[in-house]
Structure 1
Amino acid sequence: MFPVDVCPHTLIDTQTIKPVEFTKTDTTPPYAVLSHRWVEGEEVVYEELLHACPEMYQKSGYQKIKNACQVASQGGYRYIWIDTCCITETDRQENIPKMYGFYQNSAICYVYLMDVSSKQQFRNSRWFKRGWTLQELVAPRTVAFYDVHWWYLGDKHELREDISQKTTIPADILSGTKSIQEITIIDRMTWALERKTTKRQDLAHCLQGLLGVTIEPKDKEFWLEAFNRLGRALLKRYPELEKELGISDALFSDPDYSFQDCAWDRLMEIRDKMLEERFRQRFTR
């Protein structure tokens, strides 16, 4: 969905644990990415990592970065991209719309599940309920899961049946035998129904890459406006959604109209019918 040149310009050197900058004319080297859930007050930001601020070492987020760098280095990767310390407030607007591409063009995505200590707990991780982690699961070719102690649990191909049952994402998408391009926009949207973001408007931003549209983040934007901008972008690119979701340009002109509330109700109906059909097919074979 994204060209191969959509790559991050800030990476972490896995040997020095320092940020490294690449210009737009540089060829970005192979890199890993980290998927994780943020812990308020514990994450390390770019400036802290760059200047090695003393208080940084007391944060659990630093140990997470250190462990991720170690795993990536052992896997043969000199560089890793981590959202908390590779995106700054000044380049957020530029990078947020490109994040799907960052994950898609990575060599591997390491998923750190801080609430999982055994394989039996895998499906219960809250990681599966977060909005941003949807693209982090779908976009990369290889996704490797690790528990709270950084023990390897398996990759998304090996765990595809468990993940599919948890997320409703088809197993053949997770195994790579089917392309995301073969999945309708409606079906892709249903994958987000049970997911949440800390800021409600961020759910609109984290879906744009998966849905093939672009909406730049705006400071202090209300969630209603963010979702309506997403809806307009989707309708412009996929006119068939007017009939399938019951949306139109006229509705977006209404200041009280909520694309998320109205479209999500319809998507839930579509998803429930889809799951019923899958269940029926499973027991009539």
Structure 2
Amino acid sequence: MWLLNTSTYQIVFAEDPSQVRYAILSHVWSSTGEQTFQHIQTIHTSARSSFPYTCEDTDPRLLDVIRSQLSTKITSCCDYARSQGHPNLWIDACCIDKTSSAELSEAINSMFTWYSQADVCYVFLSDVSSSENPVEKLSFFRRSIWFKRGWTLQELIVPSRIVFLAKDWRMIGTVAGLAKTIEDVTGIDADILLHRRQLQTVSVAQRMAWAAGRETTRIEDEAYCLMGIFGVRLAVIYGEGSQAFVRLQEEIMTRIPDQSLFLWGIQPDVRCFPPPPATLWPLLTSVSMVHLRASKSAYLFASSPMDFFHSKGFTPVPLGTFSGMLELPDASRPPLHTPSGYGVYTTLPIITLSIPAEEDQEGTEFQAAILVRM
């Protein structure tokens, strides 16, 4: 893990991040770009070469030259972190050598851990003023683009301590003080934000719903930014497109016994099975196949987090409890879901539902494969 020294602005390597104290930055990248790992190295090399003698790392004249070439975001964040007693800082833009595909893959898979191990996470909101009240209904805080990005979801949930900073680098508040406001904005329960409830207790569908509507620059990042949320790891393959989200769901399916993974594409006004068979069809066909991005062999899976937009509020039921509700004899046999070249091979409990005859119409009997109970 590479870290930025907040006093010298040098990038240093930490072999074991868990043994190093550091602050971490969460932000939305500027439309004009950010200074990268290579930019920082070049700035240091150029600054040192401008002196006819060898400079100490803390030489004020050297630091002045370096500061003059660094972005305001980097210097301001270093200044703030240093003022709070943090000698090291991690910023995704400049602390990952993206020219190394192996390092990039490791960083993306480790990011959840790095945010969880940080002493504090500084959330820089470039579109929010420190003079406003963030709690007010029409505040810029509530409307900040930061709440609409894919990667910032885990950056909101994971850190043990979060400080929100306005565009002038003044403190707006902490997640502890703004938890209810953030819950209103994101739909994420305050107990999750405050770590009073474990992330693993939230259904897969609910966690996917948190990501619905959030945007990523690369389509693959729709999946990669959620790996930590579900505790899985994936090979990072930029260029695979929406197949990354299919791979994410396959990995979740094999590791988490929660069938709410399949509760996507639900209409907001359809939450249970009504008696007449005809009314089942809106639930089964609420997402047109034409609009699915995923491969045709993967229709059991959603095509993007957006398909889970209305999948909030589902709670997994233990297998024994579930089987008892349906009076199934094989309560000890868990459902199986196996990916294959033809899609997903699955076994599910089947129950027969009967609708009594009405007037001159015959009764109707049909079978339903049961996933979960709400």
TM-score over 0.5 for the pair = yes
Q: 2:8 aligns with which of 10, 16, 19?
A: 16
1:210 maps to 2:229: yes
- Correspondence for 2:248 among 230, 247, 258: 230
Asked if 2 retains the 8 angstrom alpha-carbon contact of 1:235 and 1:242, the reply is no
2:156 to 116, 134, 137: 137
After the TM superposition, which segments of 4 or more aligned residues of structure 1 sit over 4 Å from their partners? 53-59, 252-258
Question: 2:176 aligned to 132, 143, 157, which one?
Answer: 157
Q: Whole-Å Cα distance in 1 between the matches of residues 150 and 32 of structure 2?
A: 20
Instruction: Name the one with the larger helix percent.
Output: 1
Change (3 A) 1:168 1:114: same
**Shift of the alpha carbon at 1:236?**
0.6
Residues 247-266 of structure 1: matches in 2 within 5 Å?
A: 254-255=296-297, 257=299, 259-261=301-303, 264-265=306-307
Say whether the 8 Å CA contact 1:106–1:140 is kept in structure 2. Answer: yes
SS at 1:109 equivalent: strand
Counterpart-to-counterpart distance in 2, 1:179 and 1:17? 36
Matched with 1:35 is 26
Kindly indicate whether residue 110 of structure 2 is the aligned counterpart of residue 98 of structure 1: yes
* CA distance in 2: counterparts of 1:243 and 1:85, whole angstroms: 35
The verdict on how the C-alpha distance between 1:83 and 1:253 changes in structure 2, with shifts beyond 3 A counting, is: closer
SS at match of 1:124: coil
The DSSP-based 3-state class of the residue aligned with 2:150 is coil
Q: Which residue of 2 aligns with 1:6?
A: none
Match of 1:268 among 309, 329, 336: 309
Question: Could you say what secondary structure the match of 2:24 adopts?
Answer: strand
Deviation at residue 184 of structure 1 after TM alignment:
2.2
Residue pair 1:227, 1:258 contacting (<8 A) in 2 also:
no
**1:240 aligns to 2:254 (yes or no):** no
Identity, in percent, stands at 34
Partners of 1:13 and 1:243 lie apart in 2 by 42
Distance 1:58 1:17, change over 3 A: closer
Q: 1:126 aligns with which of 126, 145, 154?
A: 145
* 2:93 equivalent to 1:84: yes
CA contact (8 A) 1:96 1:216 kept: no
1:83 is aligned with what amino acid?
D
CA distance in 1, matches of 2:258, 2:119: 35
Give 1:233's aligned amino acid.
Answer: E
Alignment CA distance shift 1:16-1:131 (3 Å): same
Distance 1:67 1:243, change over 3 A: closer
Q: Relative to structure 1, is the Cα distance of residues 260 and 88 closer, same or farther in structure 2, using a 3 angstrom cutoff?
A: farther
Compared with structure 1, are the counterparts of its residues 58 and 21 closer, same or farther at alpha carbon in structure 2 (3 Å cutoff)?
A: same
Change (3 A) 1:262 1:20: closer
Q: CA deviation at 1:256?
A: 6.5
Partner of 2:202: 183
**How far has the Cα of 1:94 moved from its partner?**
1.3
In the other structure, the counterpart of 1:147 is 166
Structure 1 portions without partners, runs of 5+: 1-8, 247-251, 275-285
Unaligned runs of 5+ in 2: 48-65, 265-293, 315-374
Q: Specify the code of the residue in structure 2 equivalent to 1:261.
A: S
* Distance verdict in 2 for CA 1:220–1:244, change over 3 Å: closer
Bigger Rg over Cα: 2
Distance 1:263 1:130, change over 3 A: closer
- What's the Cα RMSD here? 2.7
Query: Partner of 2:89: helix, strand, or coil?
Result: strand
1:101-116 to 2 correspondences below 5 Å: 101-116=113-128
> Is the CA contact 1:112–1:150 (under 8 Å) kept in the aligned structure 2?
yes
Residues 218-246 of structure 1 show CA distances to partners (whole Å, capped at 9, x for unaligned) of 13222x21011111101111243277438
The alpha-carbon distance between structure 1 residues 225 and 43, as it changes in their structure 2 partners (threshold 3 A), is: same
Amino acid at match of 2:175: K
- Give, as a single letter, the amino acid of the residue that structure 2 aligns with 1:65: I
* Structure 1 counterpart SS, 2:164: strand
CA distance in 1, matches of 2:192, 2:175: 10
Identify which of 66, 71, 77 aligns with 2:80.
Answer: 71
